[in-house]
Amino acid sequence: MNIGYIRVSCEDQNIDRQLEGVSVDKTFIDRLSGIDINRHQYQLMLEFIREGDTLFVHSMDRLSRNLDDLRSIVQILVSKGIKVKFVKENLVFTGEDSAMSILLLSLMGAFAEFERAIIRERQKEGIDIAKKKGLYKGRKRSLNPSQIEELKIKISNGNTKTSVAREYKISRRAVYNYI
């Protein structure tokens, strides 16, 4: 089977261009950061994909923005008899890869990791400048004041922070910040 994996960083990003023109039997789509491999659809894809299948990914940075994770993911997949094809880079990994292919994986993966670090650095610089000018007010709160009160009541009534976080579609860290 030809399996497609698509990842975008947020909900409003367009996924159409990633595997355009690639014929796949099943596609898994994640809409969150590539820095972490704990992504729901990625995990489902790992459970679904089998020996002899080919995994199509638009580019290396869509699979991971961390070089160690990228190399590990490719190694795990090819050790299970799965081909990994990066469409944009036109690279295929089978487990019988040349030294040049492995070098390209490492170099391009390092560039993806570097690019993410630069983006975060620029973002921090912009926020620092905006704070100095009094323009930065932080991230908008996910819950309104009445929802925050409901949340506090639920916690005081014995509901777990995890269940409350899931109900309000926020992180546990956010629950702690609200209480």
pLDDT in tens, 39-85: 899 999 999 999 999 999 999 989 988 889 999 999 999 999 999 99
Query: Which pLDDT value is given to residue 169?
Result: 87
Quick one: CA torsion of 163, 166, 167, 171, rounded to 10 degrees?
Answer: 110
Query: Which pLDDT value is given to residue 102?
Result: 86
Query: Which pLDDT value is given to residue 112?
Result: 84
- Banded pLDDT at 9 (limits 50, 70, 90): confident
Does residue 9 carry a catalytic annotation? yes
Options 3.40.50.1390, 3.30.470.20, 1.10.10.60, 3.30.9.30; CATH of 2-112: 3.40.50.1390
As a whole number of angstroms, the distance between CA 169 and CA 179 comes to 16
Question: Which two tokens mark 47?
Answer: 């459970």
Closest by CA to 93, choosing from 68, 45, 46, 60, is: 60
As a whole number of angstroms, the distance between CA 15 and CA 6 comes to 7
Would you list the domain boundaries of the chain? 2-112, 145-178
Query: Which pLDDT value is given to residue 136?
Result: 84
pLDDT in tens, 96-153: 888 888 898 889 889 888 988 999 899 999 999 999 998 887 777 888 889 999 989 9
Closest by CA to 62, choosing from 93, 92, 99, 37, is: 37
Whether the pTM exceeds 0.95: the reply is no
Question: Judging by beta carbons within 10 Å of its beta carbon (0-12, 13-18, 19+), is residue 17 exposed, middle or buried?
Answer: exposed
pLDDT at 35 over 80: no
Q: Which of 9, 106, 146, 171 is catalytic?
A: 9
Quick one: CA torsion of 108, 110, 114, 115, rounded to 10 degrees?
Answer: 20
The predicted model gives 154-173 an average pLDDT of 89
- Banded pLDDT at 93 (limits 50, 70, 90): very high
DSSP character for 155? H
As a whole number of angstroms, the distance between CA 84 and CA 75 comes to 10
Enumerate the H helices of the chain as residue ranges: 40-48, 60-63, 67-79, 99-132, 145-156, 161-168, 172-178
